Structure formats: structure tokens, C-alpha cells
Chains A and B, each alone.
Chain A
Amino acid sequence: MAKTQRDYDGIPGTYVFDGERHRMGYRLNMMCMSLNEPENREEFQTDEAAYCDRHGITPEQKRAVLDRDWLEMLRLGGNIYYIYKIAIIDGVSFQHVGGVMSGMTESEFRQMMLDGGRHDG
């Protein structure tokens, strides 16, 4: 089924976490939620693929998690605050993740923010 048209579809580079994305991403996001528990963080780090399998996410979502393909996680229903819990485990910042998503290095992204942020798009 095609995604319902929304008034915010025209905003570029933006993945609004609406009901349709929630339905796609429920298991992925709940898997990320489990990483609030220290013992789950350890388990995830020990065997990420097995952890993904146990949480029943789709093969595409699993690929995106293993590849740290943040944009793909968003496309497949990931919510930024949930998937960021994986970045916390990796010890990377929101600026790193923001850079990866927008095709910049972390230092380029950081400099863009120091210069007043992104104004295009």
C-alpha cells in the first residue's frame, strides 16, 4: 500500500515519525529501547546479529543496523531517539550521526553548526 499523502511530505530530508512509520518500525524501535538496560547493551555488543534476530526485526532493518546505515533505519521506520541508542553504544555523537545522514564528516558537520547551522533544504 502506498504511503498516505501528508501535508509535510514536501519537506526535504525529513522522516516524520507518524503512524505509518510507527507500524513499520515498531520492533526495530523497541529493540533499541531495550538498550536502556546495561545487560542488554552488553548482549547487543557481544552478537549484534543474534540480538536483531531475537527481536524479530526485518532482514532489511537488520542490515541497516549492522551497517549503521542511519538513513536506511529512518526509511524503515526507525525513530531518531530510539536508533540513537545504538550510536550511544558506539560512542558516537549526534553530530557524527547527523553528518553520516547528510553526507558530511563529523568535523564538517560540527563546523556547519558553529557557522549557524543548515539553512538549505
Chain B
Amino acid sequence: MAEVAYGVATSHTPSIGAAIDNNREEEPYWAPLFEGYEAGRKWMADAEPDVIILAYNDHASAFDLDLIPTFALGVADEFPIADEGYGPRPVPAVEGHSVLAWHLAENLILDGFDMTICNNMPVDHGLTVPLSIMYGKPDKWPAKVIPLAVNVIQYPPPTGKRCWDLGQAIRRIVHDFDEDLSVAVFGTGGMSHQLQGERAGWVNTPFDKAFLDKLVDDPLSLTRISHVELLSDAGSEGIELVMWLIMRGALGENVREVHRHYHVPASNTAAGLMILESEEHTAFL
């Protein structure tokens, strides 16, 4: 029986990936951020999930304006690294878990979540930077990864409530998979940031800290934040935080907080990391 045991929420800022790729983690600018990742990497090495279901957003890499799926699930055995304009990041290709991915796709659709199913899906920094944050620079990613691309670039993204519900469905459906697998769900993006307009550089630390607190013990209140509140409080790109609710929904009601880290800035972004372990041993609902 498979189980969603772990949840990781993290920013996926491209410059964090560049700092890792170029061995700049110890430079004064980056050190305070990476010091907070150390405990996360140690935990990850012990937790050793078999599969990561990784909620992220594509940034004009696999998808363009001709095709904008709200939720797209990668069902292939391998996902190449996208060229986002700089050439592909020098990281290993991502190995998928096609059998579990198809189990998820079929059952999510039957459960009312109209997933888009993808084979050819180059993955960009949204997916690879969280892996680098948690694993550093391995020759091969230690876990198989099922990419779950969420549209947050074209307004409107799915609501926080919808993301939460999707996470809960993922928990139930993983539980029904007939193979012993330990599964982690990642929710990525955020925290507060705005890349565009005269308001570029927006950061809202009180909002972010309250979001981290509530993610642990009052996540339902986060599902009630409207898009206009997210745009205003977390910034136009901070709306990515809806993806963190997929992770939290997938962990069940009770969680144990393992680690949290918050640092401003990672280039233009307030960077957050939160690691949770599920304390539910059966699927709830």
C-alpha cells in the first residue's frame, strides 16, 4: 500500500538553482538561505521517499499560450530538462513513475478532477529547483517524480480550495495504489513576490509568516483566501502559494512540523521552506 507520508513546501526561484549550479551556496548573499536548507537536506536523506508528486508551475517552457492546462499530470517514464532561454540547467533528467501516474490520472478524473495527461513535458526550474534545494547535486535524482503542473501564470489560477481538494483526492488515490511506496508531495512557488510592474519587489513578511503558521494547524483558513487578496497581499507572482495547499491537502488533518525556514531575499522573492510529516495513517474522508 502506498502512502503520502511527507510534504515539502518550497519556493522555486530560478536564481536559487543558478546558485547551486555555480557552487555559490557559501557566498555571503546566499549563505543565510542555504544554511536553512541544510536541515531539510539531512531530513530528506533519511526520509528517502520513493516517489515525489511535485506541484509546480511551468514558466512558458512545456506550455505556451496555445495550451494552458489548469492541472497537468506527467505520465511519462522520463522528463527532459527544459531550455528556458539559457540552455537547460545542468541537472539530471527526471525519472517518472508511469504506473502510479496513470493510477492517479484515471482516478482523479473519475473523482471529478479533469486532469490534462502529458507525456512530452520538458520540466523547468519550477520543478528542478525544489529537487536541487532538497537533494543538492546528485548524479541521479534519488526519487521518481510525477510532475503536476498547475497554471498560475494565466489568470485565473485554480482556487486555493480547489488545490486543497485535489491534494485530499491525491491522498486517497495514492492510498489505494497496490504497491508499498512512500510518497512525498511537494507544493512549490511563493512566498510573497512580485516580478512585474511598478510594484516589482513586493514582499509581505507578516503575511508569509502567518501563512506558514496556518499551513501547519489551520490550513482550511488558507483555502478561503481569495485571488484578489493573494494578488494584493502576496504579490502578483505570490499567487503561486495556492500550490502549497495541494501539498497540505495531501497530508491529512494532522501533521508534524519537521522544519521551517524563511529568508528574504532570494533575488526578488521571499523564500520559504516547510517540511511536514503526515500523522494520519489512513486516508481520511
Contacts and interface: CB of A to CB of B under 8 A. Distances in A.
Interface string B195-216: 1111111111100000000000
Interface string A104-121: 000001001110111101
Contacts of A113: 201, 203, 264-265, 267-268
- Grouping DSSP codes into helix (H, G, I), strand (E, B) and loop, the A interface class, with mixed when no group exceeds half, is helix
Given A114-B265, A117-B265, A102 B199 contact: yes
Interface residues of B, number: 42
A36 to B, nearest CB: 6
A13 interface: yes
Nearest to B227: A8
B107 interface: no
* B59, B83, B87, B197, most chain A CB atoms within 10 A: B197
A102 B194 CA distance: 11
A74 to B, nearest CB: 6
Contacts of B192: 117
A18 interface: yes
Interface string A22-52: 1000100110110111100100000000000
B61 interface: yes
A109 B85 contact: no
Interface residues of A, number: 50
Given A14-B197, A17-B155, A38-B87, 10 more contacts: A36-B60, A38-B83, A84-B85, A94-B195, A98-B200, A101-B196, A113-B268, A117-B205, A119-B203, A121-B198
22 contacts: A11-B228, A15-B197, A16-B236, A17-B153, A22-B154, A30-B64, A36-B83, A74-B197, A80-B196, A81-B153, A84-B85, A84-B195, A95-B267, A98-B195, A101-B200, A112-B201, A113-B267, A116-B203, A117-B203, A117-B270, A118-B199, A118-B201
Interface of A: 7-8, 11-19, 22, 26, 29-30, 32-33, 35-38, 41, 71, 74, 79-82, 84-85, 88-89, 93-95, 97-99, 101-103, 109, 112-114, 116-119, 121
Closest 8 pairs between A and B when the two form their complex, measured CB to CB:
A117-B203, A13-B198, A13-B199, A98-B200, A88-B85, A113-B265, A118-B201, A80-B196
